[in-house]
Amino acid sequence: MSNTIRTVKGLVALVTGGASGLGEATARRLLQNGASVVICDLPSSNGGKVAEQLGEKCAFAPIDVTKEADVQEALRIAKTKFHKLDIAVNCAGIGVATKTYNFKKGVPHSLDDFMKVVTVNTIGTFNINRLVVGVMAKNLPDEDGQKGVIINTASVAAYDGQRGQVAYSASKGGIVGMTLPLARDLECEGIRCCTIAPGLFDTPLLRGLPEKVRSELAKDVPFPKRLGNPDEYAHLVQSIIENPMLNGCVIRLDGALRMQP
């Protein structure tokens, strides 16, 4: 049995949704621990400024995760600047709050909205996964035969979807469902796949809510009775990367929260 201590130092990561929230926290933590990072986010994001602030071991790739050409360009940047790709962390995602049918107005949920959420969250995640593995497979394997790690982001909404979350919950449920078959598909090339299902985190989305609403949400978390810190998500990302026995699993990161209807 080897006593090798695995670290993220020297690894190259691609982080989608990396300009803010969970993605930015992940990029920062990986860089602080010696990795290089390609931040991927929409052209309209502040990803360029974030990458510039984080230094020469960070690059920005403006992409739409649903567009193959955009993702291929991000991979080109990773290979050109850092010569390889070891890690992909998928944090890009969107949501809408709409019930299946508005009975007062006699209006059904917009099919376009439902399709947009599933397209970005589920199909966008798969698009990244299917393309990054071709680059990871060219890496030299470590002593376990590992060549890469994929970490996807679902949500507790995949299990405890609330009213008005049918599109978001379906999209995150799809990410949960693809985790094990991805791990099984990729084991032949030594590429692991795990998913994190976060609860309520202090991200830009929640910061836009009134403080009273944020406080009420925090009270629903059994312990610790607060919103999660994005760096706590990033810490779990690092742990998954560094622990080779984590594979094909979904890890809830929610302080024992179970969302009410």
CA–CA separation, 20 and 185 (whole Å): 31
Q: Residue 2 pLDDT > 70, yes or no? A: no
232: left (phi over 0), alpha (psi -120 to 50) or beta: alpha
For 180-227, how does the pLDDT look when each residue is reduced to its tens digit (9 = 90+)? 999 999 999 999 999 999 999 998 877 776 788 778 888 899 999 999
Q: Which residues are known catalytic residues? A: 168
Regarding the domain delimited by 12-252, which CATH topology (the fold level of the hierarchy) does it fall under? Rossmann fold (3.40.50)
- DSSP-derived secondary structure letter, 138: T
pTM score, whole prediction: 0.95
109-131 core/surface letters (b: 16 or more CB in 10 A; e: else):
beeeebebbbebbbebbbbbbeb
Share of the chain above pLDDT 90, in %: 89
The whole-number average pLDDT for the span 81-91 is 98
Record the tokens describing residue 165, joined without a space.
Answer: 């979350």
pLDDT at 211: 83
Model confidence band, residue 1 (pLDDT cutoffs 50, 70, 90): very low
Q: Give the amino acid at 44.
A: S
pLDDT at 4: 58
Q: What residue ranges do the domains of the chain occupy?
A: 12-252
For 149-185, how does the pLDDT look when each residue is reduced to its tens digit (9 = 90+)? 999 999 999 999 999 999 999 999 999 999 999 999 9
Q: Give the amino acid at 62.
A: P
Residue 91: closest CA among 62, 134, 124, 44: 124
For 221-247, how does the pLDDT look when each residue is reduced to its tens digit (9 = 90+)? 999 999 999 999 999 999 999 999 999
Burial status of residue 170 (CB atoms within 10 A of its CB: 0-12, 13-18, 19 or more): middle
Residue 170: closest CA among 101, 220, 256, 95: 95
For 42-71, how does the pLDDT look when each residue is reduced to its tens digit (9 = 90+)? 999 999 999 999 999 999 999 999 999 999
